[in-house]
Structure 1
């Protein structure tokens, strides 16, 4: 099976700082890949490179076998790459459903079609009751769900989730974890950055670990939980995955 996404020796520097340093991995269609590492490891920068927010300083990115290195975010969205942001960035003056409809317009050209898609997506993420509320009235946890809805309304082939569990209650974390785990079954490949480790390590099929911009390990969650380099750089102690 051909990879959906390939990241080949990708680096990104900001003046004298190397935020991402020679990172390489591939993601297969239908995979749920976890991307973990300490704060400041370069995870969000790597997302920005994949999503077209930033161009890499060097290296190559391929999507469905085609080079997309340096493509703009709107071009990446058009071919099927969506992402959330660690700090939600909704249009706060608009309602919740209007925010999601703006994303839905990428695939649906009519107002009726975009509204129908937005309504279905809001129901998916548990925000149907807030459809008419202004985005500015949402709590942090609800804003995280709105970020997910905005990304999924673009009908992506690949979605990049950046810490979508922050601000959620334990019950909400459980529900969102179950929701994310089901996305590959629905044909949506996932790369997930998350600090709620028990959620991501019980859900991801494979993990990539980066530290100080460099990729230090790759493998299944069970293997990563015992990897000495991962334990030293991030976990602090071996994890037992029941």
Structure 2
């Protein structure tokens, strides 16, 4: 396999607090990588560093062969990294499809082409019945799907999913999990932060665990589920994946 993303001793400090410290991580093309850990472990900060929303205090970030450590977020988005946010913040004055079109314009400056891409992305996440609806009519679960559609409209090589299962019903979790599992076959590499453990542990091909800003485990889900350090820091007890 070929490395798509590489983090070399990446750190981020806020005053005296190390939110992320000396993280070394390689993500292969076509991988579905899960990132778990307790609240405050540094997961969202790590996403912000990869996506260019924050600058590292130290270390290097390489994406698709390019050093992007100091790049602005818009440049990183243009070369193929998309992300979602824990709390959706759509443009509430726009329709559902118009929200997605704003992302689609990164690659399609023609209105018709951008709308076609936006509509396809909405169909992908099951929002085909809400294309022209006001975004204010969407429930929390549907807003989470909108976040995913917006990320997909960027036509990314890598997508960073940040707790997209929060607020979804069990049925919606099942549908979204199946959808995520199919993305690598479409050429989209996935790094996925999630607290709905049964979804991520049964779907990701590899799991990495952060605690207090440091990487404490990296391996197959079955191994992570019984790792003493992970159990102590996060799981509380050995997790069954049966």
User: Secondary structure of the equivalent of 1:7?
Assistant: strand
Deviation at 1:132, TM superposition (A): 1.3
Cα distance in 2 for residues equivalent to 1:73 and 1:123: 27
- In the alignment, structure 2 segments of 5+ residues that lack a partner are none
* 1:95-106 equivalence runs, <5 A: 95-106=95-106
* 1:1-242 equivalence runs, <5 A: 1-242=1-242
Residue deviations 1:134-179 (CA, integer Å, cap 9, x gap): 1122111111000000000000000000000000000000000000
Structure 1: 4+ residue segments shifted above 6 A: none
Cα distance in 1 for residues equivalent to 2:219 and 2:133: 42
Residue deviations 1:72-98 (CA, integer Å, cap 9, x gap): 110000000000001111111110000
Cα distance in 1 for residues equivalent to 2:66 and 2:133: 41
Deviation at 1:35, TM superposition (A): 0.3
TM-score (norm 1): 0.99
User: Secondary structure of the equivalent of 1:132?
Assistant: coil
Cα distance in 2 for residues equivalent to 1:198 and 1:71: 35
Cα distance in 1 for residues equivalent to 2:231 and 2:239: 9
Cα distance in 2 for residues equivalent to 1:15 and 1:95: 41
Deviation at 1:13, TM superposition (A): 0.6
User: Secondary structure of the equivalent of 1:108?
Assistant: coil
User: Secondary structure of the equivalent of 1:4?
Assistant: strand
Mean Cα deviation higher: 106-115 or 182-191:
106-115
Deviation at 1:26, TM superposition (A): 0.3
Cα distance in 2 for residues equivalent to 1:119 and 1:135: 14
Tell whether the 8 Å contact from 1:2 to 1:64 is kept in structure 2 after alignment: no
Deviation at 1:215, TM superposition (A): 0.6
Cα distance in 1 for residues equivalent to 2:18 and 2:223: 28
User: Secondary structure of the equivalent of 2:3?
Assistant: coil
Cα distance in 1 for residues equivalent to 2:139 and 2:15: 37
**Root-mean-square deviation over aligned CA pairs:** 0.7
Cα distance in 1 for residues equivalent to 2:102 and 2:74: 13
TM-score (norm 2): 0.99
- In the alignment, structure 1 segments of 5+ residues that lack a partner are none
